[in-house]
Structure 1
Amino acid sequence: MPRRSRTSHALGIGATAVVALALAAPPALAGPAAAPDPLPALVAGQDTAAPQLVTGLSEPAVGSPADAARAHLAAHADRYHVDPGELAEVGSESTADGRRTVRFEQRHDGVPVFGAQYLVHLTGEGAGQRVESVGGKYFTGLTAPTTATVPAATLRELALGSVQDPKARAAATAEDHGLVVLPDGAGRLAQRFTVHAADPATGGPAAREVFVDATVGVVALAYDTRAPLPAGGTDQRAAAAPAADGLEPATGTAPDARGNSAKVNIARLPDGSYQLTDLTRPAAITTYDAGGRDEMDFGGGIPADLPPAHSPGPDFPASAGTSGATDASVNAGIVYDFYHDRFGRNGLDGKGGAITSVVNVTQDGAPYANAYWDGKKMVYGSGGPNYYPFSAALDIAGHEMTHGVISNTADLAGMGQAGAMNEGIADYFGNAIEVTARGMSMNDPAAALLGESKCRTGTPQACADRRMDDHRTTVDDYLGGTVDNGGQHLNATIFSGALWDVRRTLDPLTADRVVYRALTAYLTPLDDFVAGRNAALAAGRDLGLSHAQLRTVAAAFDAHGIKPGWESRIGMDSRTLARNLSYSMAPPAAGGGHWVAMAPAPDPVKGTGGGNSSTTTALYTGSTTGRGTPVRLSPDDGRYHSWPATDGTNAVWKAIGNTAQDHSRELLTAPLSGAGPVRSLFLAPGQEPGNAQISGGDIAFTVNDFAAGRTGIRLSHDGAPAVELPLAAGHHPDDLTLKDGYLAWTESWQDGQQRVTAPTVYSIAAGKVTAQYTAHAAPGAAASTASSARLAGGRLLWLDTPNGAGTRSSLRSGALDGSGVNEVLSADSPNAPTRYSNLAASDQAVTYRVDSTKPAGGWTNAALPKLWQLPTGGGTPQRLSCDRGGQDQPAADQGTRVVWLDSTPGRTDLVVRDRAAGTC
């Protein structure tokens, strides 16, 4: 079904190091080479001393499963590097063959660590109980504080501010989930919110998980989800079946969406009428007919005035079919039975909790062609003229209900590779349930199609949302970038395709058990594809698969490129300067053959943040040639260091205090050599510096005076104390740029009903403004907006974006003396800059980002944001790099050399190219 980027669990498109030892036989005695074990006994953790996975154990464990697990970890502290005192039990899973998995969550000084879960697997009973494997995510070296220093009201406002659309932001609400530690380097203390707002593109409900740094006051992490609104007031009730008191199990008939009569399990009410509640299983299954209500009405639960689908007699009316209620109820029973009969699971939560579906919802008065799990219930769209109600497709019902199983087990995060595995496992079981229930062969062409039966017309192949036999691989097809929460839907079939190949190769029952055990016993919220591979192999070993069968499982993952180190095998034409920076919102700086970038402390080159440093972030600098060892530029003073600028000799940046005693905002400067002292440029209570720029002996920056409600410009010339430049009242400066004795900025002010923006040039030697190019609108037209001012090639460059017209901007160039403007590149030109794109300019070349709208056929790597370059004086734009993933935040060094943040390998790396690649 059509993807909606705001939904993480809607069906529609919305590197660990392996340690192993081996012995080689003497050549004269060697027989046929034994196939290597597909699962090493030890898989080392990434950025932590705690191992990701330890298998092949058989060690005594006495006591209750939780007590035995803790005692085992404590007894082998030198093996696991885990403090049992930091673990809180959050769940357990048992199997019919006597295996038990205890799932712990890591707590740092009592604060939950986001995504950090460690699991201990036991077998046997009583004195014969033994530990057979251990693993998960446990982060050693966390030193983050656990007390928020930013006021709670400020944190909430920052969370709400993550909603970019002003209208949606005005009506947004933020649900507070308390403090968590983000396991990034030494850790970041954050307040977690679920922000609910209307999607500006569709008007429907949207939700976003937002983590606001509680000591600095910046958004540290955010991703879209589909969390329900908190139930409240008297008009909502939780998404649970009504109490069974007074209801009697009964049977009846009801038409399905295609007009066929179906037998249904129903409940008889005391007044003799009936409702669509199936009481034949421990988990009561109840279906509500929204009657065409908007999906927004169900964000917080079931409206109090809406009863379950109802009938005066046991034979339900035609509306039960046209609404999709019959199919939702019957399919929910099929899904329950699959999980119960195959794995012994009692419902989505494993505890017999109620299973609730809402059908026949609309969106803005129109048919809604989608379905989703919102964390509590299934919500199915009404379909419309081209689709049956979405509950009518069994694989869609299985997919959405499997999200419920996932959220109650591994709880895979809805972003990046973890999100893709979340969607991929839901795809796998959705199809496995349908194939099993329909008695289909795995060789049936439709077996691998998801959602192929929802269309009223057309072929199954054309109707399917995804297909697990699309043969996508990590190396050829992985989409890296910010689109779709890091590709959670777009990369799903890379993982589900491997699982589906396992099901085709092994017998389906064995494959299903392997995938289910991997999900419930091995996967944790932040796992990646390789961890998913190892989880499947470990699960297979637990279930007694032969060595040959395990090799078959490994071969399926190999065929889809899911193997250790796959990221390094992606073809890239850029050089990597620093790996896994994590902070895609923080632009790097470059100049004079050097780069400066923010990264987790202490080592961005090896991608190993963490250690004993308490600094939230640090600045590093290195050569843009990639030679030499990058060095840390910022002091280890417990502050947040970011927003750098450099001229290739010195750097200037902002440091933010992040303790209860230190809320400072200070501007610092230091030589890139690391040989000189770090010097303070500006520090004043109630005032915040920003927009810092440096060129030779000159440093310029803005100062936001909160008490006065104004922003001014300060300039330090040849090392002298900074002085404030004159600026008219009500005028606001932004986009500072400094080069060769000139300072420029974008100046804005209100002129009646019109907001005016003007690229402005200031001569330091003359001490005055020498040019100001006011963006005036043509008669009757909306004003244009100037942005991204850059000094380069003896001229001023900027973007000119027509307000309310199109998505592209013109690139313009103005003389420093105000004598005239040239259009370097028209907004109508092919590959013109995206509106408000950030520019990077040297005297020889200007580089900019081009965003794409979602293609009709779905997102591809080619459609992700890319960087383009053309001569500063004008010419034909060329692709800067053919790296296939998302490209952002360019910084010009010298000549045509540019550094930028690249997400091609599924993480945020700092990379460089010396010249444009041309045509890709």
Structure 2
Amino acid sequence: MTTRKSRKRILCTVLVLSLTTTFGWARPALSKGKVAGWEQKQKKVGSPPRPVEVEATAEILARALRGVAVRRPDVPSESRLTKLLEKRVRSRVNPHGVVKCLSVESTWAVHARAGARTPTFVDLSLAEKPTLLRGGSDPAQAVLRFLDEHKQLFQLRSAADELKLDRDLRDALGFRHLVFRQRVRGLPVWGGELTAHLDPEGRLYCVTGNYLATLSGLTLEEPVLSRDEAVRVAVSDLGRIQQVRALGPEARRLLRYDGPRAELTIWRRSPEAPPRVVWHVQIRPNLVDNWYYFVDAASGEILEKYNNTQSDGPTTGTGTDLNGVSRQLHVYQQGSDYYLIDASRPIWQAGQTEPIRDPKGALVTADVRNHDLEANTTLYHVVSPNNTWSDPVAVSAHYNMGAVFEYYYNKFGRKGIDGKGNTIFSIIHVTKDGRSLENAFWNGAAMCYGDGGQSLKPLAGGLDVAAHEMTHGVIQRTVNLEYKFQS
């Protein structure tokens, strides 16, 4: 007769063998001399975390589920223009970051994003005298003249050549907002806007903007890639992600869309990145999705892509994993941000009030940003502003977690690790003693992945590693074998 412990071992063996044979998982390719076997890897790297570490990290996860520790990454705060303005505006900066513009004998508060050459917010309301615009009855021309008078501050060689009035808005209180779009040598600058705000008396009290300083080194030659070629590149890529259908006449009228569009544009990935000449391609594959592609006009490389359909809730995104494979990811959108929270599974609890701070029934990928898992470690949500995912470790961990969940659910009807549909966590970029961890482990509450090192590649890249770690959790929540001897 078999003992109770023997039956537990048999169940464990059947689960692991069933996973391996049914899914056909293969360990990620390792370069010559790499350690291939999991047991060899454990012997080489060391023993699993001690129980005290498990308890500590379990408490971290408990706090995370209550929305205490998990938070979105810090958004870079706007910083003051200091030495740059001091040199270019011939101004002096006081300790509070207020710029004294000597040319107009006024005190202005000037803000700019870190690394940017142009101000994002200029508050003129602090001026000792109101800023009156000179230019007759046309306020738009008066604003352009004002910008030219202070070109060292606004970093525009000729405002009239680079800014074109796009919208003239008036609100219920009589305030006026003149929105200018930026164009450089005839090409629109993606997202390039400057807005002048006037009070009811026509006095300028504020200037806001997100635009490029005058470009002196950008070469605007005839694009190597034609419009049609750029469209073909984008449509071909999107076809690998989802089906692209030709819309019927009613849908075309509703969306005012006659097919993929492409416009030559000046674009930059971030405020600090150099500008590029690209084709901005828009594709509507159906009535829901609205894809934007940015294709380099010289090389044909896809520099960025994202689905511009805006709605809170579950959606899909794309990213390239550690094995170089483009993956469709189940993510969650809230406002303009996208989170690696998979709310597409049958365990997701509808009608939640705090799906980001306290997700229920989700698959969540969190990041410790190259820190050890300790009692005071903070977990961060993995967030994208455009639903394009550039961290291959995050892409692999999130995709593989979903694949293993699907296996357990479709094969055994199991609702997650505990069988009760509670949230599942993967934690990436885990270190040990401040160094890259060549291991992965189940800590009693989450699957944790190190980034490898001399012997191993990042562990999140292996689908079999994700299956191994999740199965540790399943065993814990079912037969609860002791982690010693042969169990």
**TM-score range relative to shorter protein:** 0.3 to 0.5
Q: TM-score, normalised by structure 2?
A: 0.36
Q: Which has the larger radius of gyration?
A: 1
Structure number with higher helix proportion = 2
Higher relative contact order (CA 8 A, sep 6+): 2
Q: TM-score, normalised by structure 1?
A: 0.20
